[in-house]
């Protein structure tokens, strides 16, 4: 991809869709209502089962990342008192509780689903969460993989009470290095401690803070006059999308890459947002040419170098990498795209109008087959349960299988990238 194209796409990628918080703008604030842009401190923050986020302050709340404050009773009419903490439950082993919103007031807990209070609530906190203190400051869900087990983190002062959902046990630790959080928000697998009108991003297991913090929430989680961190407020058009690479890992997370940024595509419920590639894969500093996933590892190809990362909540470069394409996959040259189909052990690598088959179980790895393709200049490729997609500019070509792709001599009719796929605007 040429530099100009990369630059244009980067600018467009940071002009987020309507679902994403970081570039939304609050509408006019009515007289007498609290104003997020005045630098207030939130009492609690939580998404609901649909991915809409509630910001609580006193008797009011904001639904979503733009618009004026509303009375909390318009959504949660049974609440009595000021909200101390709230979180969305993550418990796929117990679908009766999964995605419910738990709201804490003094020594009581309320459970809502679709803004309807569950039967038997409110309850004493100890009934649902034994060992968790009353009069909390904040709470946040922490799924397995981000925490050791499916957990809820409860905050009171600088103590963190990690509640194991399955065993109903609590481990308490003190994070004196982290500001006392008045609310905590999990968004796109990152954790944000809100304190005053600022926030600090932290590791949910260790409390470690990396990067320059605190930062002003008005520059990131709402749009306020004289605040902002980039972008021009325009929506990203699907006709402008041009990928460098795309992959789905073994955990079902789909990433697309363009220039120096990447975006998660499986987070549409909670919004789309572009991040620098170096945020997740810090050693890859100049974008990627191709990416594929295999055996809980992510392979990033740039030039003649292959970077292999162990997948997880945080990607870790495997010792000894990067290595050359020749050493790792048995061929040389620049790569246009690569993909591995689910439950298979062959990576298909596209170079120009040729596709190489490489057996990932072999040692050393070598090309086992070369087949011509009916087209060239492919930008990215993805294989899933619905077949193979070859991306070329803002269009893609769908094939049922690698065999049909290899045997085809005429390309199928191209289809346009849609807003459902990439979070862009048609």
Say which residue the tokens 């009353």 belong to.
134
Q: What share of the chain is helix, strand, coil (3-state, %, to 5)?
A: 10, 35, 55
The pLDDT of residue 162 is 98
| Residue 423 Rama label (left phi>0; alpha psi -120 to 50; beta) | left
Residue 200, Cβ neighbours under 10 Å: how many? Answer: 19
The pLDDT of residue 384 is 93
The pLDDT of residue 239 is 86
Cα separation, 349 vs 369, whole angstroms: 11
Burial bucket for residue 292 (CB in 10 Å: 0-12, 13-18, 19+) = buried
The pLDDT of residue 426 is 74
24-219 with 238-422: one CATH topology? yes
Cα separation, 328 vs 5, whole angstroms: 30
Cα separation, 80 vs 73, whole angstroms: 9
Say which residue the tokens 């703008």 belong to.
25
The pLDDT of residue 240 is 86
Q: Is the dihedral of CA 126, 132, 137, 138 positive or negative?
A: negative
Q: Is the dihedral of CA 171, 172, 178, 180 positive or negative?
A: positive
Contact between 37 and 26 under an 8 Å Cβ cutoff? The reply is yes
Instruction: Assign 183 to helix, strand or coil.
Output: strand
Task: Provide the β-strand partners of residue 320.
Answer: none
Cα separation, 115 vs 118, whole angstroms: 9
Cα separation, 415 vs 413, whole angstroms: 7
The pLDDT of residue 31 is 62
Question: Which token pair is 187?
Answer: 């968004």
The pLDDT of residue 19 is 38
The pLDDT of residue 231 is 39
Residues of the chain with pLDDT under 50: 1-29, 230-234
Contact between 101 and 88 under an 8 Å Cβ cutoff? The reply is yes
Contact between 139 and 86 under an 8 Å Cβ cutoff? The reply is yes
Q: Is the dihedral of CA 275, 278, 281, 286 positive or negative?
A: positive
Contact between 59 and 71 under an 8 Å Cβ cutoff? The reply is yes
The pLDDT of residue 1 is 38
CA-atom Rg of the chain in angstroms:
24
Distances (CA, A) of 265 to 269, 272, 419: 10, 7, 11
The pLDDT of residue 380 is 97
The pLDDT of residue 235 is 55
Cα separation, 279 vs 15, whole angstroms: 19
The pLDDT of residue 175 is 95
CATH of region 238-422: 2.110.10.10
- 264, containing H or E segment: strand 261-264
- 5, containing H or E segment: helix 3-13
Interval 93-145: pLDDT, tens = 888 889 999 999 999 999 999 999 999 999 999 999 999 999 999 999 999 98
Per DSSP, helices labelled H in 214-291 are: 277-280
The pLDDT of residue 173 is 96
Instruction: Assign 404 to helix, strand or coil.
Output: helix
HSE at residue 150, side-chain half, CA atoms within 13 A, is 13
Convert 237-255 into a string of H (helix), E (strand) and C (coil). EHHHCCCCEEEECCCCCEE
CATH class of 24-219: mainly beta
Contact between 251 and 311 under an 8 Å Cβ cutoff? The reply is yes
- Segments making up each domain of the chain, as ranges: 24-219, 238-422
């Amino acid at each position: 991809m040429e530099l100009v194209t990369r630059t244009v796409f980067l600018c467009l990628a940071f002009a987020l869709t309507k679902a994403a918080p970081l570039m939304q703008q609050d509408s006019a604030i009515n007289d007498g209502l609290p104003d997020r842009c005045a630098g207030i401190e939130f009492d609690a923050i939580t998404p609901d089962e649909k991915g809409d986020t509630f910001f609580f302050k006193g008797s009011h709340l904001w639904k979503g990342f733009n618009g004026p404050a509303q009375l909390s009773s318009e959504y949660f009419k049974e609440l009595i008192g000021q909200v101390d903490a709230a979180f969305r439950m993550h418990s796929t082993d117990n679908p009766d509780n999964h995605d419910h919103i738990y709201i804490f007031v003094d020594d009581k807990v309320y459970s809502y689903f679709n803004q309807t209070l569950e039967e038997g609530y409110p309850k004493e906190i100890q009934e649902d969460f034994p060992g968790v203190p009353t009069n909390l400051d904040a709470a946040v869900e922490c799924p397995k993989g981000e925490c050791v087990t499916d957990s809820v983190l409860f905050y009171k002062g600088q103590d963190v009470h990690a509640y194991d959902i399955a065993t109903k046990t609590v481990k308490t630790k003190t994070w004196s290095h982290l500001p006392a959080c008045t609310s905590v928000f999990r968004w796109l697998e990152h954790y944000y401690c809100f304190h005053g009108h600022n926030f600090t991003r932290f590791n949910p297991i260790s409390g470690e803070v990396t990067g320059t913090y605190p930062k002003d929430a008005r520059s990131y989680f709402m749009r306020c006059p004289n605040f902002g961190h980039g972008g021009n407020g325009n929506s990203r058009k699907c006709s402008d999308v041009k990928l460098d690479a795309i992959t789905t890992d073994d955990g079902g997370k789909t990433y697309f890459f363009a220039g120096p940024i990447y975006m998660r595509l499986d987070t549409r419920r909670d919004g789309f947002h572009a991040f620098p590639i170096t945020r997740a894969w810090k050693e890859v500093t100049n974008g990627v040419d191709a990416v594929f996933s295999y055996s809980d590892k992510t392979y990033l190809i740039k030039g003649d170098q292959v970077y292999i990362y162990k997948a997880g909540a945080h990607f870790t470069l495997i010792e000894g990498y990067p290595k050359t394409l020749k050493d790792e996959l048995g061929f040389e040259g620049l790569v246009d795209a690569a993909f591995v189909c689910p439950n298979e052990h062959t990576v298909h690598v596209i170079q120009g109008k040729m596709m190489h088959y490489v057996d990932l179980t072999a040692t050393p790895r070598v090309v086992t087959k070369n087949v011509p393709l009916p087209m060239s200049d492919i930008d990215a490729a993805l294989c899933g349960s619905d077949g193979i997609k070859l991306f070329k500019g803002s269009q893609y070509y769908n094939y049922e299988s690698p065999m049909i792709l290899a045997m085809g001599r005429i390309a199928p009719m191209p289809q346009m990238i849609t807003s459902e796929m990439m979070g862009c605007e048609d």
